[in-house]
Structure 1
Amino acid sequence: MDNEYNRYYIKIQTILGINPKTIHEELATALGPKAPSYPTVAEWMKTVTSRWIPHQLNDVQKQERVRLCRENLAKFRDGSWRLCDIITGDETWIYHRQIHHKSANKTWIGEGESPLIIVRRRKFERKNLFSIFFKSNGPVLIHAVDNDETIDHDYYIENCLKPVVKEIRKQRKSNGTKGIKLLHDKPSPHRHSYIINYLTEEGINIIPHPPFSPDLAPCDYWVNDYIKQNLTDQPDEKSLTRAVSKLIKNIPEEEFKKTFDKLLERMKLCINNHGGYFEHSIK
């Protein structure tokens, strides 16, 4: 068993929630002195956990995930909520220079050929923060945050939420914000009382979202990765903003709809998995 197979085995065991000590012992039993060391196993596990297991959930957090998924699903099932009324948004860092995932760099090397040189990201790569909101029929807001700005509650209201509300009223001239629900995660600015009060005044309800749950957030499980996988290198902030905006606006409406349909499927998976992370069960 070479390193590629070792890594694959470690990835699968990590996704299944097996701890590094047990994984190392299993490899040592099977491979003897050829097994990777415990520090190597732990290091390789980081490449999996950084994507698939962002947080080690405790029992209380798992129970909260199940509770909220059940409550939210019930409202969709009884017609109280509709997917077409949901707006979701989040912030994400986007680099000017794009580097593909390691899996995209795999290739066969013929006899006598040199392996490809894999470009790695430098420590201080240029990047910009974006705040992106969308609905099941397409984007609502694509906002590039100035490099000298910090997203606090005031900035979030003035530069993100108010433009979102304006766009919703433009799209829904008859109903405005009536029935609109906002799904966003819970970093400090999003939880501020000013934000809650502003959304209440605008008639927008916040969908309860459990902490440490990127697997239940459409921005995290779809659009952020979509952007980074399809974006080309950009020389400066303006070109990056234009490219990101064009890329998102060119996504077919059907893809947005499918992403929200998957949200309901993911809630069911969370419940079936007793609140644990479930990415390993998605084909």
Structure 2
Amino acid sequence: AKIIHEELATALGPNTPSYQTVARWAKRFREGSEDVNDDFRSGRPVSVLTDENIELVRQVINNDPYSIYDDIIAETSLCRGTIEQIIHNYLKMKKVTSRWIPRQLNDEQKQERVRLCRENLAKFRDGFWRLCNIITDDETWIYHRQIHHKSTNKTWIGEGASPRTIVRRSKFEPKNLFSMFFKSNGPVLIHAVDNNETIDHDYYIENCLKPVVKEIWKQRKSNGTKDIKLLHDNSSPHRHPHVINYLTEEGINIMPHPPYSPDLAPCDYWLNDYIKQNLTDQPDKKSLARAISKLIKNIPEEEFKKTFDKLLERLELCINNHGDYFEHLIK
């Protein structure tokens, strides 16, 4: 074996098998074996990737979708590597963060969402309604101090340095209520609600709807409110008979909006978040109102148009998802 190993070393250099391997080969050859394959060994372990173990892991996860690896190991007595193979390669699962939804919709509410989405979508597709004639609005509270999302607060720090701190916002910090109206070509009205005021139907008519109607006539001198549709949610001031009567008198129709549907309201699925992500800290209500007005007016017209185009996509997604919330399906 020593001579064979030396000759192999001369021929193969660094790729030479170890002396122990060469000695084992020589011994097998002397014993009459000329087969280069390994002998069958009865003690070789059987595979643990069986149908029974796959189903066992599936049952543990079905019983508790929040299970961690330690839980599954305790329930199945399988090793972590086997469990990982089963989960990823056989069950085709991955762990994701749970979705937050506005409300747990019942079957009746889902059916109502589907019904209204179908009716609204049909009117757009048949040409009875046009996106350029839709005005949408909503009310939202905006704080003077912005903390943004956690992902936007990440900063680079040096080795051994402490991360920056951000003081958690108190619900008692200064904030103001804004009512904002916009259409596919830009803003129509940005109204800062007076301090200590609440938006009831009278306030909504006098301080919001009347200025909006005035602005519509300013922008559309020849057509005025003809074919204009107002899309807003189902809050009490919006549904009040006086509000409905005023809009009817002004020739403005209300676009039906299903209850508990912020995913179908452009203010909720776009503008409110856009403002809060891009707004800087402001010392008082007056400067806050100026900053919001400037921010919205500087948004390119194309962004407003894209937001209304997405409304049609969202109507269709709601129908296809049988009335349930669908934002996890948006790519």
TM bin, normalised by shorter chain, reads 0.7 to 0.9
Instruction: Describe the superposition over 1:128-168 as per-residue Cα deviations: whole angstroms up to 9, x where unpaired.
Output: 00000001000000000011111000000000000000000
Residues 183 and 31 of structure 1, relative CA distance in 2, 3 Å threshold? farther
Which one is further off, 115-124 or 67-76? 115-124
Give the match for residue 99 of structure 1.
147
Residues 80 and 148 of structure 1, relative CA distance in 2, 3 Å threshold? same
Residues 272 and 189 of structure 1, relative CA distance in 2, 3 Å threshold? same
Say whether residues 1:119 and 2:167 are aligned partners. Answer: yes
Give the match for residue 146 of structure 1.
194
Q: How far, CA to CA, are the matches of 1:157 and 1:244 in structure 2? A: 22
Q: How far, CA to CA, are the matches of 1:32 and 1:178 in structure 2? A: 68
Q: How far, CA to CA, are the matches of 2:72 and 2:287 in structure 1? A: 52
Say whether residues 1:240 and 2:282 are aligned partners. Answer: no
Q: Which amino acid aligns with 2:207?
A: N
Say whether residues 1:262 and 2:310 are aligned partners. Answer: yes
Give the match for residue 253 of structure 1.
301
Q: Aligned ranges for residues 36-55 of structure 1 at < 5 Å?
A: 48-49=99-100, 53-55=101-103
Give the match for residue 90 of structure 1.
138
Q: How far, CA to CA, are the matches of 1:262 and 1:150 in structure 2? A: 31
Give the match for residue 208 of structure 1.
256
- 1:231 is matched with which residue: 276, 279, 287? 279
Q: Which amino acid aligns with 1:29?
A: D
Give the match for residue 71 of structure 2.
29
Give the match for residue 13 of structure 1.
none
SS at match of 1:147: coil
Q: How far, CA to CA, are the matches of 1:75 and 1:226 in structure 2? A: 29
RMSD: 2.0
Gaps of 5+ in 1: 1-20, 34-43
Give the match for residue 190 of structure 1.
238
Q: Which amino acid aligns with 2:138?
A: D
Higher relative contact order (CA 8 A, sep 6+): 1
Gaps of 5+ in 2: 1-62, 76-96
Q: Which amino acid aligns with 1:195?
A: V
Say whether residues 1:174 and 2:222 are aligned partners. Answer: yes
Q: Which amino acid aligns with 1:263?
A: L
Residues 70 and 31 of structure 1, relative CA distance in 2, 3 Å threshold? farther
Q: How far, CA to CA, are the matches of 2:129 and 2:65 in structure 1? A: 44
CA positional deviation for 1:91: 0.2
Percentage identity across paired residues of the two chains? 81
Number of residues paired by the alignment?
Answer: 249
Instruction: Describe the superposition over 1:214-241 as per-residue Cα deviations: whole angstroms up to 9, x where unpaired.
Output: 0000000000011111111100110001
Following TM superposition, the consecutive aligned residue runs of length 4 or more in structure 1 with deviations greater than 3 angstroms are 25-33, 106-111
Give the match for residue 247 of structure 2.
199
Q: Which amino acid aligns with 2:186?
A: G
Q: Which amino acid aligns with 2:64?
A: T
SS at match of 1:24: coil
Q: How far, CA to CA, are the matches of 1:141 and 1:123 in structure 2? A: 27
CA positional deviation for 1:116: 2.8
Instruction: Describe the superposition over 1:191-235 as per-residue Cα deviations: whole angstroms up to 9, x where unpaired.
Output: 000000000001100000000000000000000011111111100
SS at match of 2:64: helix
Q: How far, CA to CA, are the matches of 2:328 and 2:239 in structure 1? A: 30
SS at match of 2:198: coil
TM-score by length of 2: 0.72
